[in-house]
Amino acid sequence: MGSTSLFLPTAGAGTAAAATARRHPFFSHRSHSHVPTTRLRREPRFVAVSAAASPASPALSLDALIFDCDGVILESENLHRQAYNDAFAHFGVRCPPASADPLYWDEAFYDELQNRIGGGKPKMRWYFGENGWPSSKIFETPPSTDSDKEKLVDIIQDWKTERYKEIIKSGTVEPRPGVLRLMDEVKGAGIKLAVCSAATKSSVIMCLENLIGLERFNGLDCFLAGDDVKLKKPDPTIYITAAEKLGVESKNCLVVEDSVIGLQAAKGAGMSCIITYTPSTASQDFTDAIATYPDLSNVRLEDLKLLLQKTLVTG
């Protein structure tokens, strides 16, 4: 099979179907053979916890459940990758500038990238910083000033976001198993419910409205996106801010994440975290999570309450 078959044919892809998937310099020394193509395990894995809190330590109560969006509410990795590649093709982004074809992020590379850096703009800033700022239809020669570099990233990100919306609105994307049922259990029990995502606000709103429905979205007690905080995950700011807005203590919050970046953010905020991994994150080290699951189909609210009661969060 030729390299052209690697590109996902989509509306607006332009000449990107001719793009050649190439190894990226920064990761050229690393093997991607560990990236799973199917789920590797079906049973939840639990971190060992004490049977009960010690008498000197009061039991924790579950006051708020906080979901990440991408990878948790939906398996979005490949959708975002597709939208970025469509944007690179649309604007003729060439990195390095002498490249014959538009920039193309292959699946193995994007798995590495997204699990290292949260947020779309930080991903591009890092990539261009490592590999050289590109030529494009936006700037014929690579931008040299900070303002032009930010303009380039902003324009690409805005177009990519609109393309991502088109994919979500196509009706072909569904929530991951168990998400809607668990959200309803939480709200029915009077526990606060939040969503915290590193993605742009417009993208997350559109995603939530289409996947969980307007009623559930409007019923969230807190919703924060990447636009709402200066620092992205793994920085804990978004979760610290969520606890403040919810009016609860961090130790009484439980976060649902899919990657080690999100796990680090939750832990940094003093929150316990469960992992519902995806094929692209299944091989990551989730030692600091209090439990890991392939999805939420068999996870009940009472299970989460018990987990939190048995776990003392350390800073």
CA 14 to chain CA mean position, Å: 27
Residue 68 is among the residues annotated as catalytic for this protein: yes
Task: Check 63, 70, 86, 106 and give the catalytic one.
Answer: 70
- Look at residues 98, 87, 109, 89 and name the one whose alpha carbon lies nearest to residue 30: 109
- CB within 8 A of 160, min separation 6: which ones? 83, 84, 86, 87, 120
Q: Are 82 and 90 in contact (CB under 8 A)?
A: no
Q: Are 105 and 85 in contact (CB under 8 A)?
A: yes
Phi, psi torsion values for 267, nearest 5 degrees? -60, -40
Task: Check 68, 86, 106, 235 and give the catalytic one.
Answer: 68
* Strands laid side by side in the 291-293 sheet: 45-46, 291-293, 272-276, 253-257, 64-67, 192-196, 222-224
Distance CA 228, CA 160 (A): 19
Phi, psi torsion values for 297, nearest 5 degrees? -60, -30
- CB within 8 A of 308, min separation 6: which ones? 60, 61, 62, 252, 254, 272, 290
CA–CA–CA angle 237, 241, 244 (5° rounding):
145
**Among all residues, which ones are annotated catalytic?**
68, 70
